[in-house]
Amino acid sequence: MSVTINIAAAIMEDVTRSQNRVELDGVKNFQEILDRLEVMFPGFNELMYNDNGRLNAILDVYIDGESVYPNERQVKVKDGDEISITMLYEGG
């Protein structure tokens, strides 16, 4: 089995070459997902995190529909989990 990662197309499409859904096998936590995505899509982590290593202010990370910010890097994942990297929107 694997985990599914849904990536916000609006922010990441240049880096992910418009691939906004990825399945990964054998990952145990979100940091491993980040490491694998950086290998697949060089520059991915640069868009995800600022110079201080904090999640970009316009992004959030959800696992099975629940936000895992601000501890997203340490969160464990299991087979079948659905991870969403989404853009936060402001309205008026």
Tens of pLDDT along 53-65? Answer: 999 999 999 999 9
What's the whole-number average pLDDT of the chain?
91
Higher pLDDT, 15 or 78: 78
Question: Which architecture does CATH list for 3-87?
Answer: Roll (3.10)
**CA R_g for the chain:** 12
CB proximity list for 68: less than 8 A, separation 6 or greater? 30, 61, 62, 75
Q: What is the pLDDT of residue 92?
A: 58
Overall pTM surpassing 0.85 (yes/no): yes
How is the chain split into domains, by residue range?
3-87
The one-character DSSP state at 91 is -
* Phi, psi (deg, nearest 5) at residue 66: -115, 130
- The answer to whether residue 11 scores a pLDDT higher than 80 is no
What is the Cα–Cα distance from 17 to 27, expressed in whole angstroms?
A: 22
